[in-house]
Amino acid sequence: MDKLKKILPFIVPPLAVMLIMGFAFYRNDLYPFGDGTVSWCDMSQQVIPLLTDFKDILSGKDGIFLNFHNAGGMNLWGVFFFFIASPYTLLVLLADKADVIYLVNIMTVLKLMTAAVTAQIYFRTCQKKLSPYISSVLSIVYAFCGYGMFYYQNNIWLDMMYLFPLLMVAFKELFEKKRIIPYTVMLTLMMIVNYYISYMIVIFILLFMAVCCWRYRKEEKYKDVPCRFIIGSLLGALLSAVVWIPCFLQFLSSGRSKSVIMQIESADFFSNYQTTFCLLLSTASVAVIVLVFLLDGKKRSKRLNTDLIMLFLMLIPIIIEPANLMWHTGSYMSFPCRYAFITIFFALICAGYFLSSENAIAKEKKNCDHFIIFLILAALIYGFYRFSEGFVENNRDGMAKYTKSLWQDSTAFELWLEFFVVAAVFYTIITLLHKKGWISKKIFALFLAMFVAAESYANVNVYMITPDMNYPERSYYHHNIMDLSDRIEDNDGFYRVKTSSKLFEVNLVGSMGYN
């Protein structure tokens, strides 16, 4: 039983993620319960074709350094580490090329489950005073945050999302135990998995270390941390150089290396808040917890204040456009918050510290879990479920504008703000009941989990189910296209085909195995 109690907090978050997503997939006939797919936009245009190309590379049908299935012949090294350098990519060995459009459903679920696990590893390692029940719920929140919902189509970004909590654990090891290896390993892994997002990780690391060195400069036990940090960073840069140096050279010769200064000079001062704020509004629970405790005026620990400073700094680029562009090497195309998993996780870190603080929560009253309070909370849960289900179904087209254009508009922003306000009211009630000592930690965690499940299901319903509703024939046509594979017996030559229109995603020609 003792072993089960220790393991259970690490089992519950990924299991909850699987059940919530599985329920959404089941109700809407997405694979493995139907023919629907979560694939759209970059996932259809780039990720799936590259996964099928990689399957051919693994089977020896083409090469990674010189690949004739793309662009008349090109080096796929940089492209591989931009899009699919994930351990989950090896799952393509288990699927037919035509079925990769279904495999991405499973990969997305697995990566979000992994994000829940790594978030829980952080909380159980770095915030041991936090109740394991509450940390489980916060880990589920991380998996279903707006970043995962908006950007899962660029599937490799979910790998960076689940690696980030482990980077924060590595920093704890560096500061508290003077261990360089965990930090070096995590930096190396993140540089290898996605060198573009890792550029933003490096900026974050420099900012985080600058804040920590400033905040703890007078504490003797941290005097040698900067030196260890420099050594660990140099080792990480050397170990990952085989990836980032050739990738950086390819980046410089690509269309992405536009003038950063010109981009910033022509930018507006404020970011496209209708899109960036919608991403943040998808995590109402954390926003409420942080605000409720932040406004109570009670003394906070130095560590919590440091994390609050980082949260504030990570919010700046989401609001201020020139800062945002600098985080994106001058251009973010249609994805203005590629680093927002950092912002959201710092909000979760602060929420965890608030909820575990001895001074933050009033001493629990005897028999505080009254039956009447329980009934009221149950009624609130039922009301929120009914509201969220009906609100999404009645306003799907407006809320899901992003799934058609990659941008939210004023209508979507207003609808999400309305949903956020209603959710925030419910979260505020249970947070205040817990803060005042009227409900215990277990009951608070139970009802918080129920509210989070409803909010998470709404997020999945809008951002993952709607793309399949927009184009229900996607997987059917994909199978028809992939059925054209291996139709030419002598497949060593090159073929030039002129089409009257865009018949399908052009990268699928290489996926079919044709040069």
Q: What digits encode the pLDDT tens for the residues 7-33?
A: 888 999 999 999 999 999 999 999 999
pLDDT > 70? residue 263: no
Residue (of 403, 272, 393) closest to 332 by Cα position: 272
Note whether 380 and 429 are within 8 A (CB).
yes
**Residue count of the chain:** 515
Residue 259 binned pLDDT confidence (cut-offs 50, 70, 90) = low
pLDDT digits (tens, 9 = 90+) for 316-332: 999 998 888 888 877 77
Q: Which of 57-71, 301-315, 423-437 has the lowest mean pLDDT?
A: 57-71
Distance between CA 33 and CA 23 in Å, rounded?
10
The residue ranking higher by pLDDT, 298 or 311, is 311
pLDDT digits (tens, 9 = 90+) for 79-112: 888 899 999 999 999 999 999 999 999 999 999 9
| Helix, strand, coil percent content, the chain, rounded in steps of 5 | 70, 0, 30
Q: 138: which residues sit within 8 A by CB, 6+ positions away?
A: 119, 123, 286, 348, 351, 352
Q: How far is CA 67 from CA 63, 91, 255, 375, 497, in A?
A: 5, 21, 20, 63, 19
Note whether 292 and 432 are within 8 A (CB).
yes
Residue (of 133, 128, 134, 157) closest to 145 by Cα position: 157
pLDDT of residue 281: 93
Residue 347 binned pLDDT confidence (cut-offs 50, 70, 90) = very high
The residue ranking higher by pLDDT, 464 or 217, is 464
Mapping DSSP onto H, E and C, the string for 189-234 reads HHHHHCHHHHHHHHHHHHHHHHHHHHHCCCCHHHCCHHHHHHHHHH
Residue 234 binned pLDDT confidence (cut-offs 50, 70, 90) = very high
pLDDT > 60? residue 189: yes
pLDDT > 60? residue 366: no
180, 143, 453, 430 alpha-carbon torsion, rounded to 10°: 40
pLDDT > 90? residue 423: yes
Q: What angle separates helix 441-460 from helix 2-27, to the nearest 10 degrees?
A: 30
SS3 category, 256: coil
Full-prediction pTM beyond 0.85? yes
- Max intra-chain CA distance, the chain: 81
Residue 371 binned pLDDT confidence (cut-offs 50, 70, 90) = confident
pLDDT digits (tens, 9 = 90+) for 135-159: 999 999 999 999 999 999 999 999 9
Interval 440-456 mean pLDDT = 94
297 dihedral zone (left: phi>0; alpha: psi -120 to 50; beta): left
Joined together, the tokens standing for residue 133 give 């029940």
Prior bond of 32 cis (ω within 30°): yes
pLDDT of residue 100: 94
Its sign, for the CA torsion 46, 48, 49, 55, is: positive
Q: Which of 346-355, 452-461, 486-495 has the lowest mean pLDDT?
A: 486-495
pLDDT of residue 292: 93
Distance between CA 80 and CA 58 in Å, rounded?
13
pLDDT of residue 265: 63
Residue 260 binned pLDDT confidence (cut-offs 50, 70, 90) = low
Residue (of 11, 64, 35) closest to 468 by Cα position: 35
pLDDT of residue 195: 86
Mean residue pLDDT across the chain: 90
